């Protein structure tokens, strides 16, 4: 039985009209290797100078963006293509199904090991393992924190396109608003 094509898989993170406007201002690159770079020097809705986002909301690159290493991202993407369902549900199921001792009050080494076995990428591991989160980390299990971070990043990538659309609309009317509170940490 042939795989059904779903329109939502080709949903861009940044809609075409907004992307065209930002590209014209040299604030957004065209898609390259499934990603776009946003130069936020003149934008108020994102608090970093340059950020790379997936071109498509439903993509292997999005699994990497939300926190998975390339190999796990590819496996999740292939699973999503073969067995369509909830995009984030595939990520949640991967974390839940990974056989590892779920730790809370353990050494940093145990946490690094747990996150690596879950297939979390280095950048996300470093964010979770930041010393300022030590006491907070001890309140829940490793898988829980990994899942929370993945969920937060999924929400943030969904909000990026809307925040940029609003920013472009504000630029066009000459009104600038600060929407950085739309992005979870």
If we measure between CA atoms, which residue out of 65, 51, 57 comes closest to residue 121?
65
> Tokens for 18?
């907004």
Give kind and range of the element (H or E) at residue 38: strand 35-39
User: Could you tell me the pTM of the whole model?
Assistant: 0.81
pLDDT at res. 77: 96
- C-beta separation of 60 from 34 below 8 A: yes
Phi, psi at residue 63, to the nearest 5°? -60, -35
State the pLDDT at residue 173: 79
Six token digits for residue 33: 């290797």
pLDDT in tens, 57-113: 999 999 999 999 999 999 999 999 998 889 999 999 999 999 988 777 778 999 999
Which residue carries 């039985």 as its tokens? 1
Structural tokens at position 66: 């939300």
Helix (H, G, I), strand (E, B) or coil at 117: helix
CA distance to 24, 75, 172, 173, per residue, from 176 (Å): 18, 41, 9, 8
């Amino acid at each position: 039985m042939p795989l059904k094509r779903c329109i939502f898989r080709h949903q861009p993170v940044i809609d075409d009209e907004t992307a065209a406007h930002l590209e014209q201002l040299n604030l957004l690159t065209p898609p390259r290797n499934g990603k776009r770079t946003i130069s936020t020097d003149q934008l108020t809705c994102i608090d970093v100078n340059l950020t790379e986002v997936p071109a498509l909301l439903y993509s292997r690159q999005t699994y990497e963006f939300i926190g998975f290493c390339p190999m796990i991202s590819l496996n999740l993407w292939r699973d999503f293509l073969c067995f369509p369902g909830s995009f984030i549900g595939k990520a949640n199921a991967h974390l839940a199904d990974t056989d590892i001792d779920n730790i809370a009050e353990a050494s940093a080494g145990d946490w690094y090991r747990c996150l690596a076995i879950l297939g979390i990428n280095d950048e996300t591991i470093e964010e979770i393992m930041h010393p300022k989160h030590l006491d907070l980390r001890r309140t829940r299990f490793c898988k829980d924190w990994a899942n929370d971070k993945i969920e937060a990043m999924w929400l943030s990538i969904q909000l990026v396109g809307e925040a940029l659309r609003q920013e472009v609309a504000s630029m066009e009317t000459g009104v600038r608003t600060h929407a950085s509170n739309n992005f979870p940490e």
